[in-house]
Structure 1
Amino acid sequence: MSAFLRKTDDGRASVDLLVTGARCAGCISKIEREVSGLPGVESARLNLSTGRLAVGLANARVDPARIISALDRLGYSAAPFDPGAATAQRDREGRRLILALAVAGFGAMNAMMFSVPIWAGLFGQELGPATRAMMMWMSAAVGAPCAIFAGMTFFQSAWRSLRAGRANMDVPISVGVILTLAISFSETILNGRDAYFDAAVSLLFLLLIGRWLDHVLRAKARSAAGDLLALQAPTARVVDALGHERTVPLGDVRPGDILRVRPGDRIPVDGVLEAGEALIDNSLLTGESMPERVTPGGLCRAGAVNTAGLLTLRASARSEDSTLSAIARLVEAGAQSRSRYVRLADRAAALYVPVVHAAALATFAGGWALGLDPREALIRAVAVLIVTCPCALGLAVPAVQVVASARLFRRGVLVKSGAALERLAEIDHVVFDKTGVLTEGRPALVGASQTVIAMAAPLARASSHPMARAVARAAGEGPLARDVVEHAGLGVEGLIGGRRARLGRAAFVGAPTLRSGETELWFGFEGETKVRLQFSDIVRPDAAAAIKALEDRGITMEILSGDQVGAVSAVADAVGVAGWKAGMLPQEKSEAIDRLAAAGRKVLMVGDGLNDAAALARAHAAIAPGSALEASQNAADLVLTGDALMTIVEAIDVARAARRRALENFGFAALYNLVAAPAAMLGFVNPFVAALAMSGSSLVVTINALRVRGGR
């Protein structure tokens, strides 16, 4: 195991482990507390989505095998973390769940086929003893194997929990299923009245639906940091001492290496520009919509795009120390902190498990002590377990979240997890990015006549500059200029109708001014008057209305942007947001979110760029537009498929309505259990009636969940 340690320069070490079996915030707390308490361990952080446990060690002499042994005592298996193995393990878990779900569905339907004739006896259509016995044995032959196979997911989890001296939600489920099967076999052998094989397998079918949905939702949320690192170029072009260029893997680049980056390529690692002037597209890193001009000695950051000529850089950091990698680490840390959120169902489960166990045990022991034979006392205890089965509790939140998610989907909002809706319902402060969120995210030509646009269009169509592309969009399709030459950081020139023309900075075009703003281009034919083209990042039409609607709901707001002060100030004034900050780096945005959280605020972050990914992951809840970078969408909880910002307001309204419905469901589930459990304990409810009551309670919470469709 020592081979998997990573040593640092200060003598410390770290190791990453893949932990399986962790499912909730309680698991995270338990694992991190146990591992952090081991001698030589300085820190332990578990990412629930990926299963990755990052352990910091005081020195390299600490044996990681002791950590694995401690996790095994807790009931969790662990192995050295390998991304490929982690993906394969998740795929195996998904296949196992879907197979168990299919088997449970098959067993429920077919066991029911033999149970229905037995139930018919309740309506005066009694079967003969031989036929009744045959039906019970056929139900056992189908239902019992299916229940055992489908229940292994819960049985194994319950066993791991009990081995660690704790009881999770799977313990009463497993006990209830096993005792139901045992009672059913006993009744079948002794020619009793009822058998409940169909109830056991139907229960597992309902519970596996929830377990499968949980698995799918986690799969959607686990890839944000990986998507960020995928933006790094896999290779880099290194120039040796003789001036020869060779391509090497990104991991082989060392500080001091000379690199070449061709136009249109991403910069592989952080580096200093050696010569010339570069035009760098940092929009994914900083959110600034206009390209940045970098002079010799200036820093070019990994993940940015070279939009002009061939660049020569001196690497200043390794790939794992680059700006992009730092953002990825921030995103993963945010995902770890967010996974500690305790969902409503987890809080209810903490009370449910000990109460149900105590009630069932008291029923069996009390009935036996009061003169009931062990068989009758056990049937009553099983009835208590069935009638209080956590189906209604388990469906109380998921049913609401499914309905709420479906409603939001029809309104253009994709919800990636149930916990996201719970967190969204709690927010009291919204942080907006500017570019691509409050604005359309790309420069738009303003105030130019169609005549000027038509003249400049042939050159604009030949350029990759964002503002030139805006001119080309405004002009539509048409001819290209001939003999086009693009000058890095200056502009583009070529022949239009046989006349030489230029499009770019004022000095390059020959305009009678030495000032050239970052939101303008100049165009002109050689020897003729020059024309200025101005650009603006257009504010979304409903931005001001959305801000006003959020204020009406008692929510405060601010803008955190990587763009320039003037651009941020103008947008803030246009939409009516008083608080704003400009020129913010990704880590600064993340730290601002942390400060708000430390002050007790529940923050919703709305952002679209790579510079927003860490803040999205750190926020209490996060929303990204559909046009956002994939890594930002994965770091967010909800994704907007349209351009309307008012859908954010609707998402908050629906989330708050869903929370109310979920709390109502919990209230009903508690009331139902307060009535049904004593009835079962007193013998008024047998396991068959208990199964019907359990199904009825599930139906009630599902019907109540549908009320989310009706609005706020």
Structure 2
Amino acid sequence: MSCCAAGAEAALQMDGIQPVSADELRLASRDLGDGTRQTDLSVPGVHCGACIAAVEKTLSALPGVESARVNLSMKRVAVKWRALDETPPDLIGALDAIGYEAHLFSSATDEKDPELSRLIKALAVAGFSAMNIMLLSVSVWSGADAATRHAFHLISAALALPAVAYSGRIFYLSAWSVLRRGRTNMDVPISIGVSLAVGLSLYETYYNAPHAYFDAATSLLFFLLIGRTLDHVMRERARSAVAGLARLSPAGTTIIAEGGERRYVPIAEIQPGAMMLIAAGDRIPVDGVVVQGASELDCSLVTGESAPLRIGVGAKVQAGLMNLTGPLTIEATTRSENSFLAEMVRMMEAAEGGRARYRRLADRAAALYSPVVHTLALLTLIGWMVLTGDWHNSITIAIAVLIITCPCALGLAVPIVQVVAARRLFERGIMVKDGSALERLAEVDTVLFDKTGTLTLGTPRLINTGEIKPEALAIAAGMAAGSRHPMASAIASSTRRSTLEQRSFDAISEHPGLGIEARSGNDLYRLGRASWALDNGGDEADTDAVSISILAKNGRILARFAFEDSIRPGSLAAVNGLRQLGMSLGIISGDRAPSVEAVASALVVDDFRAGLLPADKVAHIAKAGASGGKVLMVGDGLNDAPALASAYVSMAPATAADIGRNAADFVFLKDNLSAVKEAVDIAHRAKVLIRQNFALAIGYNAIAVPVAVFGYVTPLVAAVAMSLSSVIVVANAMRLRSPQAAPAPADTSAVSGVSLRTAAAKP
């Protein structure tokens, strides 16, 4: 069912592959920014672990290739390479040399699925033939006389030969494509088994012998095609999540040129800095910043919330979001391949292609299949010939061994569970960047959280607007309007929600770590640290309780601004759930001790560290790892990236800085921190199902192989048993369901509303 094979269409086109020039290959690749490039190839002949190993090994051996990673569900291989003398490696030629047709990957998602149509037609022909031949066989088994038996065998042959030729071509062409290059795959013994069964049956029919095995040959193809079709449909379901994401990207957009001219361009031609006109009802093609207009956006793709989000000038927007109400002019900040939506698609694909320890184990076992099973069948044939001298019976038993030992169940044990788990996580708003991360997540025993932006929302809110004079608020808002600091944004937004007009100035400058300075005539205004803004340095003792910024005019205080932050929804439920799983919990933050202590107290976390630099966080994680702990790090900021990369496994919210998202293994799209607990739950359940699948596959072979070798299984029974083992493994993987989101009243009422008045430096 997961047997590796180059598809029939691939094999038919093998000799007619159109060459791809070096320039075309280079243009189709993506620059990764560190001197390497990535090329995505479509390899339709990849079907299982043995195929994956062959493709990855061949490409990795090419000069300049740094890595090759196959995505089995997408039939796609991502190759990272470094150009030697500006010449890309011959990726397509290398794959053709080992029997795999390849071409440049296209992200088009509206094409029909020819492989599924081909499988269904072959399945229908094999099923029709098998059912009718089985009816004839029942008559023979019931005691038909010699003439009737011979007639029924002839009719069976007439039904079986076209069916075997048509339905079996999927396996025959695959086997031939590798045999002619001196290799084998899992379809080779299947093809040999079917051919031997048909040949032996024709011999028996010619001599009017009591038994023929046309029913076994056609039933074997029927059951194999059922399994392969189910496997294909299963993977298509997983691919539908990726395809659904890709469809959110429009084909192009209207660009406003420098002279005001408007023209429609394909999405691939949109460059950073381009001005895009997005009408109501259109989706945003690439990430950008709103420079004109106001509207509401459907942000359910990013946040999971169905309520529209009101945005205006200066708002950052992501690719794939739907513009609902008004026209917007947006300045593009990325190319399409680097957009948030493209990143989500890549993470979903990577989740299915991860090379975890269990998967590598299954792949190695499946790769040994062909030589082992051929040797076993040959030894069985020789052994029975020596014992009985009956070549007819010996060949029949050898055929049964060839059929029953197909390790499809073993080959499916890990990837099927991994694909289903990635889809379940996606449905819960959690993106997996590496399939092996699922395996590592199931092994963690310690969870460390960053504070700001992770346990808290990281968006300060001005809480004492009523205590500030309107004139002072207008001055501060005018100074803060051009700053991107969270506290400055909070001050500026407080006036946007009112009729208060912001003050304008002759000059404004921002001093990192201190605050904002503005001049109006002979007056000097400062907004920020009291020690910097006030002539006497001020008294910042109360900043241990509340985040404070000071507005001063010529060194004398005009207003005091107090801010608060809120705990991220779902934090308490997530922490309590992880604690129930026996996890050790901790908070490591660069913030001041009082703010960290406030969050730790609200979440009942006893182990917390404050004032840590990025290197301190890495050292803390390394210390936990050295003592045998396996750490899950959850963080979001630029300063969390080293910690995320050094942890055993890591998670970050979608609102995290780009470098934080890139360093994390998981990215959750919703604001709710319950995603951490849900990811751990699904990882644990996936681990259990993988082990169950291994047990089922190994148990099947431990029982079936000896029974077949000792001659107690006919080719027909072998076909049924082999196919059922694969179906059972797939059905077991389908038991993985995402956990139901349990209500958390304590979290909603007691923690989500908690305002954490934490210490901070300046706006």
Q: Into which bin does the TM-score normalised by the smaller protein fall?
A: 0.5 to 0.7
CA positional deviation for 1:92: 0.6
Select between 361-370 and 155-164 the one with higher mean Cα deviation: 361-370
Go from structure 1 to structure 2 and tell me whether the alpha carbon gap of 1:271 and 1:568 turns closer, same or farther (over 3 Å shift). Answer: farther
Q: Which of 92, 108, 115 is matched with 2:137 structurally?
A: 115
Spell out, residue by residue over 1:209-243, the C-alpha distance to the aligned partner (whole angstroms, 9 max, x if none). Answer: 33223222332444666666665665556554455
Q: Distance in 1 between matches of 2:130 and 2:429?
A: 32
Q: Which of 595, 602, 617 is matched with 2:646 structurally?
A: 595
Spell out, residue by residue over 1:123-176, the C-alpha distance to the aligned partner (whole angstroms, 9 max, x if none). Answer: xxx221111222222333334433332222222222223233332222222221
Q: Distance in 2 between matches of 1:79 and 1:708?
A: 34
Q: Distance in 1 between matches of 2:429 and 2:274?
A: 44
What letter is aligned with 2:57?
R
Equivalent pair of 1:490/1:504 in contact (CA under 8 Å): no
Equivalence map 1:268-347=2 (5 Å): 317-321=334-338, 325=342, 336-338=353-355, 342=359, 346-347=363-364
Equivalent pair of 2:197/2:217 in contact (CA under 8 Å): yes
Are 1:161 and 2:178 counterparts?
Answer: yes
Select between 533-542 and 393-402 the one with higher mean Cα deviation: 393-402
Are 1:177 and 2:194 counterparts?
Answer: yes
Q: Distance in 2 between matches of 1:299 and 1:425?
A: 34
Are 1:150 and 2:167 counterparts?
Answer: yes
Spell out, residue by residue over 1:377-434, the C-alpha distance to the aligned partner (whole angstroms, 9 max, x if none). Answer: 42332233245455776787899999x99xx99xx989999x9799559721287999
Q: Distance in 2 between matches of 1:414 and 1:107?
A: 46
Q: Distance in 1 between matches of 2:381 and 2:179?
A: 21
Which residue of 1 is the match for residue 26 of structure 2? 6
Q: Distance in 1 between matches of 2:220 and 2:731?
A: 19
CA positional deviation for 1:114: 1.3
Are 1:58 and 2:78 counterparts?
Answer: no
Q: Which of 67, 86, 96 is matched with 1:72 structurally?
A: 96
Which residue of 1 is the match for residue 220 of structure 2? 203
Q: Secondary structure at the match of 2:710?
A: helix
Which residue of 2 is the match for residue 523 of structure 1? none
Q: Distance in 2 between matches of 1:190 and 1:348?
A: 42
Q: Distance in 2 between matches of 1:703 and 1:281?
A: 36
Equivalent pair of 1:427/1:604 in contact (CA under 8 Å): no
Which residue of 1 is the match for residue 73 of structure 2? 49
Q: Distance in 2 between matches of 1:28 and 1:257?
A: 41
Q: Distance in 2 between matches of 1:414 and 1:258?
A: 31
Equivalence map 1:468-483=2 (5 Å): none
Q: Which of 48, 56, 63 is matched with 1:32 structurally?
A: 56
The alignment covers a number of residue pairs equal to: 605
Which residue of 1 is the match for residue 700 of structure 2? 669
Q: Distance in 2 between matches of 1:154 and 1:393?
A: 19
Q: Distance in 2 between matches of 1:39 and 1:702?
A: 39
Q: Distance in 1 between matches of 2:228 and 2:84?
A: 40
What letter is aligned with 1:69?
G
CA positional deviation for 1:252: 4.0
Q: Distance in 1 between matches of 2:214 and 2:595?
A: 68
Q: Secondary structure at the match of 1:166?
A: coil
Which residue of 1 is the match for residue 757 of structure 2? none
Q: Distance in 2 between matches of 1:142 and 1:413?
A: 49
Q: Which of 430, 439, 442 is matched with 1:427 structurally?
A: 442
Are 1:358 and 2:389 counterparts?
Answer: no
Go from structure 1 to structure 2 and tell me whether the alpha carbon gap of 1:15 and 1:423 turns closer, same or farther (over 3 Å shift). Answer: closer
Equivalent pair of 1:285/1:303 in contact (CA under 8 Å): no
Are 1:549 and 2:580 counterparts?
Answer: yes
Equivalent pair of 2:318/2:340 in contact (CA under 8 Å): yes
Which residue of 2 is the match for residue 461 of structure 1? none
Which residue of 1 is the match for residue 121 of structure 2? 99
Spell out, residue by residue over 1:623-673, the C-alpha distance to the aligned partner (whole angstroms, 9 max, x if none). Answer: 968x799xxxxxxxxxx9xx8987667645643443443343234224314
What letter is aligned with 2:83?
A
Equivalence map 1:153-552=2 (5 Å): 153-222=170-239, 235=252, 238-242=255-259, 248-257=265-274, 317-321=334-338, 325=342, 336-338=353-355, 342=359, 346-368=363-385, 372=389, 374-390=391-407, 423=438, 427-429=442-444, 489-490=493-494, 502=498, 537-539=568-570, 542-551=573-582
Go from structure 1 to structure 2 and tell me whether the alpha carbon gap of 1:595 and 1:367 turns closer, same or farther (over 3 Å shift). Answer: same
What letter is aligned with 1:58?
A
CA positional deviation for 1:178: 1.6
Go from structure 1 to structure 2 and tell me whether the alpha carbon gap of 1:693 and 1:574 turns closer, same or farther (over 3 Å shift). Answer: same
Go from structure 1 to structure 2 and tell me whether the alpha carbon gap of 1:651 and 1:564 turns closer, same or farther (over 3 Å shift). Answer: farther
Go from structure 1 to structure 2 and tell me whether the alpha carbon gap of 1:208 and 1:374 turns closer, same or farther (over 3 Å shift). Answer: same
Q: Which of 626, 633, 637 is matched with 1:584 structurally?
A: 637
Q: Distance in 2 between matches of 1:354 and 1:706?
A: 31
Go from structure 1 to structure 2 and tell me whether the alpha carbon gap of 1:382 and 1:5 turns closer, same or farther (over 3 Å shift). Answer: closer
What letter is aligned with 1:584?
G
Q: Secondary structure at the match of 1:77?
A: coil
CA positional deviation for 1:194: 1.4
Q: Distance in 2 between matches of 1:170 and 1:23?
A: 11
Identity across the alignment (%): 39
Go from structure 1 to structure 2 and tell me whether the alpha carbon gap of 1:309 and 1:592 turns closer, same or farther (over 3 Å shift). Answer: farther
Equivalent pair of 1:434/1:568 in contact (CA under 8 Å): no
Are 1:20 and 2:44 counterparts?
Answer: yes
Equivalent pair of 1:294/1:300 in contact (CA under 8 Å): no
What letter is aligned with 1:543?
A
What letter is aligned with 1:127?
A
CA positional deviation for 1:21: 0.7
For structure 2, which runs of at least 5 residues remain unmatched after alignment?
1-19, 464-490, 504-526, 529-545, 548-562, 609-632, 738-763
What letter is aligned with 2:96?
D
Q: Which of 140, 150, 174 is matched with 1:133 structurally?
A: 150
CA positional deviation for 1:357: 0.9
Q: Distance in 2 between matches of 1:225 and 1:159?
A: 33
Task: Tell me the TM-score normalised to structure 1 length.
Answer: 0.63
Equivalent pair of 2:442/2:687 in contact (CA under 8 Å): no
CA positional deviation for 1:271: 5.9
Q: Secondary structure at the match of 1:20?
A: coil
CA positional deviation for 1:689: 6.7
CA RMSD of aligned residues (A): 6.4
Equivalent pair of 1:272/1:314 in contact (CA under 8 Å): yes
Q: Distance in 2 between matches of 1:74 and 1:370?
A: 41
Q: Distance in 2 between matches of 1:705 and 1:287?
A: 26
Q: Distance in 2 between matches of 1:699 and 1:334?
A: 23
Q: Distance in 2 between matches of 1:399 and 1:222?
A: 13
Q: Distance in 2 between matches of 1:51 and 1:371?
A: 47
Equivalent pair of 1:111/1:198 in contact (CA under 8 Å): yes
CA positional deviation for 1:200: 2.2
CA positional deviation for 1:250: 4.2
What letter is aligned with 1:117?
S
Q: Distance in 2 between matches of 1:624 and 1:546?
A: 17
